Structure 1
Amino acid sequence: MSAPATAQSRPATATGQGPPPVEVTGEAIVPRPYFGRKGRAFKVKSNFFPMQNVPGKTIYHWEVKISTPQNHEVRDRASCRQCIMAWAEQKDSPLYKQQFVYDGQHILYTPVALKKEGYDAAVEFPDDGTTGRDKRDLRVDLKFVAGIDMNKLIKAINNETMVVPMECVQVLNVVLGHHPSLSHFTVGRAFYPLNDPASERILANSQVMLNIGYRASVRPAKGRMLLNIDVANTLTYKPGPLMEIVLKAAGIPPNNKTATLSANQRQQVAKHIIGLKTFSKLQGNKRSHRIQHLSKDSVSVTSFATEDGKKHTVASWFKQAHNYTIQYPNMPCFNSNKDSSKATWIPLEVCEVDEKQLYRKTLDLNQSREMITITCQPPNVRAAKINESFSRIQSPAQMLEAWSLKIDPKMMDIDARCLDIPSVKYADSSKAPVVQPVDGAWNLRDKKMLTGMTLSAWTVVAFADQRTFPGDAVKNFVSQMVSTCKLSGLNITDGQPPLFWEPNATKDSASIGAAIRKAIEARGGKVQMVMCLLANANNAVVYNTVKLVTDTMIGVPSQCVQEKHVRTANAQYCANVCMKLNLKLGGANSMINGNLTWFSERPTMVIGADVTHPSQADRSMPSVAAVVGSIDKSCAFYRSSIRVQDSGEESLWQLGPQVEELLRAFIKRNGKGPERLLFYRDGVSEGEFDLTSKTEVNSVLASCEKIRAGWRPKITYVACQKRHNARFFPEDGENGGGGGSRPGTAGGRGGGGDRGGRGGGRGGPPPRGGGRGGGRGGISYPYGNIPPGTVVDSTVTHPSLFDFFMCSHAGLKGTSRPTHYHVLRDDNRIGADELQALTYELCYTYGKATRSVSVVTPVYYAHVVAKRARCWFAAVRAGEVGGLSERLEKERSPRVPKLHPALDGSMWFM
């Protein structure tokens, strides 16, 4: 954790909404109360490698600036590294025969002091061929910044101070990243091998390359520093002819040399190639070009004037100057000059895409599936790759010795605990009201919803014709839904709702809303639910629009069903839909059997908050802040609140009003407000912990004060992180034990008692097989992963602060990723065992699933709410309901759409 930051208010921004003024109060750093003790102890492997010593001396920090002779700063990491390494070879360089490390940008460290505090030099080194010259001349400025006392870090890991000096951690990261960066393509702290076919895959039917590498970073722990290594993946453009990308983006067959671009095609091409670095090879000269923008006209029409005043088309100039005949005369060209008034026009076809340029666009569905298939690795495979990567990125012993570093090459075995699995309660009218999950999962057989609702008025709209949705198939699906829901405790009194086929509604997207309204009016204008059947083709567009219309304009819950599910009418799928319907109608599906840990003592609300951001390719869209809060002691009922804010802004700027909405809902249901708040916050990076927690806690307190003067409930604020690189694996020999390895094959039972021998768990169900395997002490390892309920709160956690890793779910595919929980404020003085048990129990309360989830349920709900809001924006942005109503036109401001008031009291987002 970084040193405490000073909280400051920010000015209002483009959205007109700045965060509230902050008056920092309370404890920002929460020491660990004790290490947790509950649960069955066992051992796991981790992807951490212990550093056996840390340099207890001063390290010298230097600022680097590299520029061209024209004083333009060079930012390309590869060029900067090449320049610094060339300078270090010069005998008059202060780095000559000296140990140093460099981050490729502005930071350089030396283990000893240099003679002067500043140096500058001209450096000449061989060029890589992109400038058309044999050599490159750059200028280096090196200035001393400060000495960094590494003893501060030693004090922090030895618990002499609770604040870890991040400048010391940064030194170690740069030291350990210096050597691999000289032979790898780097993205942040990830390293990708160069010229290694085994580490590169071209995704099918695309111009996108998947790069497989490793990510390495240094982490503080109690009594030592740790090197964390994990597998990393990133996407880059496939190097090769630029025209291939252009034709692919435009949807034009390869080698169609007479092709032209429509306005829409030109826009799509521009989205894919603007900013790309390319190079041309004409008459043996290799020149680098960055694509700034596309021409409006073709290469045969776009013209420019030379210094003698003569006018040339780009095509004629390349024939005259380079003896090159244009092959695609109807295609545009691009300008490589940032100054559009001094355009340098280059034909698309003469350029090649440079290698290792990040691809930031959204993959299509097939590409996403292929990427997941390639990167989703079983635990044993991932662990083997991590071990292999240690040797690939390990720095030479001589270099580590100069920095007083030594790293154990063996992955750490660490202590873990497996918490008891809670039982789940359904309605008393069920044949078996209480179910005990196995490996974090259970089924709905013979179960009735805890609070089943009645659906007496609903309608079904199929957005396709009867060839896509045959009448008999739709009626069969509806019949299966009705019978399944009745068995599950959702009473549907209208077993034959009116059916509507709207094949033309999707052609004119504005009529999607009209089609839904027509179906509702046919039922007298009042329905409890609209079920929308979506064809397989282009259903994302229809889905977004349906949700915008029903959530924000009509105020009726909707349930979308894909074509494939209508045709199969599978009972299990219908049971899953039934859970969603019951929640949307105001019911509750299940609860933890008995009382939730810590909740029954006093009125308590658990809050989940998340901010989702638009993709890097679409920063014009706002970020969405979603907050949910429980309103009952079983945490089965939640209310939600949505706000938007500037794109990329992580702080919850309008948290006060959002929490006020939730608190008033709690008071309305319970007659009084909560005395305690347990706030789970997703999406905050460690560098923002202190400022964000203080800002948001004070926003919550301000909302309480607004409701009733002097009301100050006790707040426990917990940050949840899924984007981290810690992974845990079963120990050797525990990877599935004697579990079944063939479909339908059952393994033997796991060993009993605290020190039971090795044994097999149950084999996986067909067709997967080999699902569960047993290990020592009765611990099972579902799908080769660590078991649900695994908690790690020592050895690899913070040296002194209150944090823990929890794997609350069974990883069905790939390697399970635990959630990292950090307690940033704790007015309630909740113990480690209590908080870990409660967090785990909450993972079994996700209303529309029959398995535990990977992050605490209120945070999961907040993410679902934010994702739904993004659907609204996608529909509005695409004009998918343009002209539907005057309200929609007014709601093109980023502050809206807003949830319809009729849905405000339900779990509409399920």
Structure 2
Amino acid sequence: MASYQITEFVKRPGLGTKGLSVQVRSNHFEITKLPNITVYHYDMTVTPQVPPPVNRKIFVEFMNRYRNSDLESGSPVYDGRKNLFSPKKFPFDSRTFEVSLLGDAAPNRQVPTFQIKIRRVATIDLDELHAFLQAKSRLTNNILTAIMSLDVLIRHQPAMLHVSLGRAFYTAAAKKPLSGHLEVWRGYYQSVRPAFGKMMINIDISATAFYQSGPLIDIILKILGLRTADDLRRSNMPAYWTKVERQIKGIRILVEHRQKTKRTFKILGLTKTSARETVFKLSTDRMRGQGGEAAEPEVEMDIVSYFKNVYNINLLYPTLPCVRVGKNIALPMELCRVVEGQRYQKKLDERQTADMIAFTSQTPSLRANAIRDGVRLLNYQQNEHLQDFGMKVSNEMAIIKARVLPPPLIAYHPTSQEPRVVPRDGAWNLKGKRLSMAATLGSWGIVVLASEREAPQVQIKAFVRELIVGCTDAGMNVLNKTPPIVYGNPHGNIEELLKSAWIQTGNAVKSQPQLLVCILPNTGTPLYADIKRVTDTLLGVSSQCIQLRHTRDPKKQYCANVVLKINAKLGGVNAVLGRDMMPAFMSAPTLVLGGDVSHPPPGDTTRPSIAALVGSMDDKMARFAATVRVQTARTETIADLADMTVELLKTFYQTCGAKPERIIFYRDGISEGQFTEVLKLEVQAIRAACARLETGYKPLLTFLVVQKRHHTRFFPMKSSEADGHGNCKPGTVIETAIVHPFEFDFYLQSHAGLLGTSRSTHYYVLLDDSKLSPDDLQDLSFKMCHLYARCTRSVSIVPPVYYAHLVAARARFHSKGEVYSDTTSADSAEAAGTGDASLYKTVRPELMKVMWFM
């Protein structure tokens, strides 16, 4: 237990040795001088409650007023919410102050004064942090607070000067319009990270969508795709205004008709009537400018007349609706400006997403330069707060030792022209290769969801012939060369259509249908979801969806890619590792698991989370079975893991004829703060599943967390050590300098990125009964990344995790209660649905032993 005293997880057992040694740069910047002072932690409560941006304005006023007289302090830093850290002790333990915000900063006119209560909650001794970095202390609450104080220290100044969101800040200096009324802003992410004997700051570029600022009328024209305000007059339709209201609701605007006090308001909606028709009551003394001697009777007035009489403003667009900003307050659109720096939090449409990707995808050299720009903008050397705390930061990216693992040998069927291939830059092709274990396709049918005019039968038959050629070239045996073709209405009853096609397919060759090839007219989610629900849960037949446009001029490469999916769905194996490529410790029966929990999108309070678990079903890690459960929304642990593991252990035994002696579990989607809880509950569940099958059965368990959502990037030092896109080569492993001071984690870049800068995967070992070496786990993970059944490339994340992600996404389609938006793709479905778990149907038993989710 000695290695576990300093950590509840696995202590790093050493460093790997396999592969070619290289050096890479990383977007981590060393803290060359770490504060060795005592830091004082205070709780700052602002009453009444306001958002963080207003809190920060209050803090500035507070410091201006009390810094020298009452605080006797240098430069305390504040996170905009509750936490305030000071390098010097305040002359009080608890005290309440008053601050007034002048001008527009006060969001509520009636409460211009704020109460600020400051109370000391902790004294942070940074010596403990130094000990932790030298592997002499375990992670304590004091150390976590110390790291948080450094995080707040580096973010304080940028948050005061720029728009701050989470760990990133954004600047309008580098922005680009997105389609419609949005724009994307460049930002910079920064986070303090403990590393190998030192602290580092991880700096990366970030981007997010904001509302465009400017006249509200101009923004509305962009929403509706109109050119001029005259078009708006001519297009004064209720349907337009419903769309506009949905898009502008919640935006903060500035009104410009008052010269002395320019106020901001939040848009609540639109009036049902135009400015000319919107009538309200007001006293006549208000019309005279608040100067009547006695209260006068109320008069009724429309908004156009009011602005003419009170402000001498002739409204140019009296026929347009007004914006509602209060219970009885409406403002003409033409007098409103959208305030700059408001984040857009709804889902981007397809065109906006494409624009965003174009803006954010940068080659490694461009990204590295952009990160250096961020470091110059942050200007740590001139930051008075860092100076007061006694902290210094390097301006240079960290240079790190790395290794490049050799690619494995990939094996196809021995009768292939080229039965073995060594990937080059993470890729290879199917030319001259027959699939390792090709399936037989006997009973199959074609369902065309379009009219014969849109998809002529001669076109569909030509595509089917090309697909059969692809199957045959890959080694598959296609028994029926003329599958029945059924046409149907994409807007009709899909369930009845597919049932009819299934019956015709079975009757054609007098056997159980294996596959329905569905030809779709568009990329919309509703139709795709309906097909998968019916074939997966009602008919128990594999389905392969194909876009109609691909049938017009069928490309050989496209058909080859489709064949890979079809073969896996029919129980075949596409490729395996070559002889002697399998790591030695895998010679004992080993079950490789991948787990993931998919949550509903932010703001969705009705739909549940979906947990998926996949497990290897052979000794080659090439075939996987899946099981899925619906669970309470936003629960991160897999609630029913014991039952799911029992299912996969039974399937493994039935297909391999042996009990696994070792289980290796790759777990996706967990943040560092959840490690302890997930490890405890899920290891318990797996142990319970094993015990349930046989008393005393306790296979060796290795539990790894797989993380893709991080901001660490690597850049080759030499062009000879880069791939064709300037990224680090597939197989690059980093396990020093920027990793945990003593726990067992590593970064593996296993793929060749096609766009922008590749993101490595972070593997974190939480439990390891097998006492595997770094070489063992790094080698296994990299080799597995070459066995993803859908392509002839190494992928960025181990296939069991990839498959678990696919399974969870597919299971969303298995509920009849979902209503999908037609503008989203199948991979990122947006739906309004119900949280009723009973509506989610299970996959038919006929499919459970094949990779139906491909």
TM-score normalised per structure 2: 0.89
Whether the aligned pair in 2 keeps the contact of 1:606 and 1:629 (CA below 8 Å) is yes
Deviating more after overlay: 476-485 vs 394-403: 394-403
In structure 2, distance between residues paired with 1:372 and 1:135: 43
| Selected match of 2:171 from 170, 184, 193 | 193
- The residue number in structure 1 matching 2:293 is none
Cα RMSD of the aligned pairs, angstroms, is 3.0
Task: Kindly state the Cα deviation for residue 64 of structure 1 after the two structures are TM-superposed.
Answer: 1.3
Task: Kindly state the Cα deviation for residue 322 of structure 1 after the two structures are TM-superposed.
Answer: 5.8
Task: Kindly state the Cα deviation for residue 135 of structure 1 after the two structures are TM-superposed.
Answer: 12
Change (3 A) 1:60 1:430: same
Change (3 A) 1:583 1:49: same
| Selected match of 2:836 from 858, 882, 893 | 893
Whether the aligned pair in 2 keeps the contact of 1:419 and 1:837 (CA below 8 Å) is yes
- The residue number in structure 2 matching 1:755 is none
Whether the aligned pair in 2 keeps the contact of 1:60 and 1:111 (CA below 8 Å) is yes
Task: Kindly state the Cα deviation for residue 105 of structure 1 after the two structures are TM-superposed.
Answer: 1.9
The question of 1:506 aligning with 2:490 is answered yes
In structure 2, distance between residues paired with 1:43 and 1:300: 70
Amino acid at match of 1:827: D
| Selected match of 1:905 from 825, 829, 849 | 849
Task: Kindly state the Cα deviation for residue 331 of structure 1 after the two structures are TM-superposed.
Answer: 6.2
Change (3 A) 1:286 1:585: same
Whether the aligned pair in 1 keeps the contact of 2:609 and 2:631 (CA below 8 Å) is yes
- Unpaired runs of at least 5, structure 2: 284-296, 823-831
In structure 2, distance between residues paired with 1:826 and 1:833: 14
Whether the aligned pair in 1 keeps the contact of 2:7 and 2:139 (CA below 8 Å) is no
Whether the aligned pair in 1 keeps the contact of 2:570 and 2:850 (CA below 8 Å) is yes
After superposition, where does 1:639-718 map in structure 2 within 5 Å? Answer: 639-718=625-704
| Selected match of 2:544 from 556, 559, 580 | 559
- The residue number in structure 1 matching 2:155 is 177
Task: Kindly state the Cα deviation for residue 279 of structure 1 after the two structures are TM-superposed.
Answer: 2.7
SS across alignment from 2:767: strand
Whether the aligned pair in 2 keeps the contact of 1:555 and 1:901 (CA below 8 Å) is yes
In structure 2, distance between residues paired with 1:408 and 1:879: 48
After superposition, where does 1:305-704 map in structure 2 within 5 Å? Answer: 335-337=324-326, 342=327, 344-346=329-331, 350-395=335-380, 396=382, 398-502=384-488, 505-508=489-492, 511-524=493-506, 526-536=512-522, 539-594=524-579, 596-598=582-584, 600-704=586-690
- The residue number in structure 1 matching 2:46 is 66
Encode CA deviations 1:515-571: one digit per residue, 9 max, x unaligned: 2223222234642111111224x5433222222222222221111111332122110
Change (3 A) 1:101 1:546: same
After superposition, where does 1:50-449 map in structure 2 within 5 Å? Answer: 50-67=30-47, 72-75=48-51, 77-90=52-65, 93-95=69-71, 98-128=74-104, 137-163=113-139, 165-194=143-172, 196=173, 199-203=174-178, 205-246=179-220, 255=229, 256-257=232-233, 259=235, 262=238, 268-284=243-259, 285-292=261-268, 335-337=324-326, 342=327, 344-346=329-331, 350-395=335-380, 396=382, 398-449=384-435
In structure 2, distance between residues paired with 1:225 and 1:622: 39
Task: Kindly state the Cα deviation for residue 260 of structure 1 after the two structures are TM-superposed.
Answer: 5.2
In structure 2, distance between residues paired with 1:231 and 1:157: 27
Change (3 A) 1:534 1:155: same
After superposition, where does 1:866-881 map in structure 2 within 5 Å? Answer: 866-872=808-814, 876-878=818-820
SS across alignment from 2:659: coil
In structure 1, distance between residues paired with 2:496 and 2:333: 45
SS across alignment from 2:65: coil
- The residue number in structure 2 matching 1:10 is none
Task: Kindly state the Cα deviation for residue 506 of structure 1 after the two structures are TM-superposed.
Answer: 2.3
In structure 2, distance between residues paired with 1:551 and 1:329: 56
- Unpaired runs of at least 5, structure 1: 5-24, 736-774, 881-888
Whether the aligned pair in 1 keeps the contact of 2:817 and 2:834 (CA below 8 Å) is no
Encode CA deviations 1:798-832: one digit per residue, 9 max, x unaligned: 00000000000012221110001111111221111
Encode CA deviations 1:550-600: one digit per residue, 9 max, x unaligned: 222222111111133212211011001000000001111111113521553
Question: May I ask how many residue pairs the two structures share in their alignment?
Answer: 816
SS across alignment from 1:138: strand
Task: Kindly state the Cα deviation for residue 617 of structure 1 after the two structures are TM-superposed.
Answer: 5.0
In structure 1, distance between residues paired with 2:242 and 2:848: 39
SS across alignment from 1:559: strand
Change (3 A) 1:320 1:560: farther
Amino acid at match of 1:211: W
Whether the aligned pair in 2 keeps the contact of 1:127 and 1:134 (CA below 8 Å) is no
Task: Kindly state the Cα deviation for residue 467 of structure 1 after the two structures are TM-superposed.
Answer: 4.0
Encode CA deviations 1:114-170: one digit per residue, 9 max, x unaligned: 111123222234424776989954332211111111111101100102326221111
Task: Kindly state the Cα deviation for residue 88 of structure 1 after the two structures are TM-superposed.
Answer: 1.5
Encode CA deviations 1:710-756: one digit per residue, 9 max, x unaligned: 3322211101111111111011xx12xxxxxxxxxxxxxxxxxxxxx
Whether the aligned pair in 1 keeps the contact of 2:567 and 2:574 (CA below 8 Å) is yes
In structure 2, distance between residues paired with 1:428 and 1:213: 53
In structure 2, distance between residues paired with 1:271 and 1:711: 58
Deviating more after overlay: 660-669 vs 154-163: 660-669
Change (3 A) 1:899 1:286: farther
Whether the aligned pair in 2 keeps the contact of 1:360 and 1:617 (CA below 8 Å) is no
Change (3 A) 1:103 1:26: closer
In structure 2, distance between residues paired with 1:217 and 1:890: 37
Task: Kindly state the Cα deviation for residue 250 of structure 1 after the two structures are TM-superposed.
Answer: 6.2
TM-score normalised per structure 1: 0.84
Change (3 A) 1:397 1:239: closer
SS across alignment from 1:600: helix
In structure 2, distance between residues paired with 1:474 and 1:619: 43
- The residue number in structure 1 matching 2:745 is 803
In structure 2, distance between residues paired with 1:713 and 1:300: 78
In structure 2, distance between residues paired with 1:825 and 1:316: 74
Change (3 A) 1:616 1:293: farther
SS across alignment from 1:62: strand
